[in-house]
Structure 1
Amino acid sequence: MMRKNKILNIYLSLLFLLISITAFSQEKDSLKINYSLINSIPQNAPVYFNGGYIGNTPYRFMFGSADSVNGIDVIVKMKGYIDFSFRVVKEDLPLNKTVNLIATGKNPALRDKLVIEKKSSLFKSPRKVVPIVLSSLVAGGGAILGYVFKTQANDYYDEYVNTGDRSKLDKTKKYDLYSGLSLAAFQIGFTCLIYFLLIK
């Protein structure tokens, strides 16, 4: 009985960990590791640090030790919009700034083409939902089936110990194999989930 409870606790802990990982938002993940974010409306605006081009919005960066002395002069500029400039110093970090670019008088039609900030694009590329859902289902299903099969294997083993019936021992081995395969499916699903959610 103690063995069953221990296995159940392990599976439930792993399932809780799986659910917890998927619950964190992308923005919080970045702030945890002290990334700073400069974004703009509309997005895809070139960003310049101390006069040098470094990327387009949304842009993530970490504050280097050399920057902590003088700070960084940031300019966000886009054709047809007024340049937006500001200074970032170490005390401002981690920075999470969204700049609303204003269309110039030469092209007021650009005001109607604003790109609204999308929370799902805070990673370098948007996450693919289908692989994340499928790998979550494989991981969750593998964990649940592993627990069920291991419980059945333990029950058959207890019967074998009490009765000495070899058929119960054979069933124990069969369900232990199923439990191992289910655990392997859980590990593969969990690895795929981490890959599709955090790496790819």
Structure 2
Amino acid sequence: MKSLIKIIFVFVTSISAYSQDCDSKLLLKTDISNFRVFINDSLEYKDQYEYQLEKGFYNILVMEDSDRWDAGSFSDSFFIDSCETKELILKLSSNVLIDSEPLDVKVFAGDSLLGYTPIIIPKYFNTVTLKKFGYSEREIVIDQRFSKINASLDFIGEAKKENFFDKSLSKVLIGSLITLGAASAYFKLKADDYYDEYLRTGDVKYKDRTNDYDLVSGVTLGLTQINFGFLIYKIFFDN
């Protein structure tokens, strides 16, 4: 009887010891030959398909080892039991660049904000929604054949009316008004100077110069008045 108990004890102890020493195994299956594997954000492997793990919960990230901006990636979480062999079949999802007009458009996957355009996202998102204030929403279907998607949103907001004083025309009109006014005043002063000289000397040539400058002053004054009238019209009547 004692011998039987001893045999049973040795058998149970051996099974217990075996179960404690038994590691779990993770097998990766993928058609990608160059890749890097990150397990729980700390363990890093390269081009390895089989892993010995302890019982527990794991996060795994597999990235194609490439300099291409649309290189594929795969992420998953799993629990592995003692002595279990778990197989993961990886289908690496490449990336897609989403650009838009206008820029800085919000990109949503469901209710989750992924970021703002231009943005690179994995192709495993079947659809995304583009949103921007003042523009119509647009749903984009991710086509696996393309690595870039250009999307345009229709403007539905109220167009901001430009203030007249912010327009180039207003700057031209105001600048012309100032220039013509200054020129008219200058020529009038020159005419007065020559007229004073004519009164002092009686020389007819000063009178002729007075008439010339008076004429030019009158023309520039007339242009100033026309310019001023047009400016008033643009401000108050041309909406």
Q: Same fold (TM over 0.5)?
A: no
Higher helix share: 1
Which of the pair has more CA radius of gyration? 2
Higher strand share: 2
User: Normalising to structure 1: TM-score of the pair?
Assistant: 0.39
Report which structure shows greater RCO (CA 8 Å, sep ≥6): 1
User: Normalising to structure 2: TM-score of the pair?
Assistant: 0.33
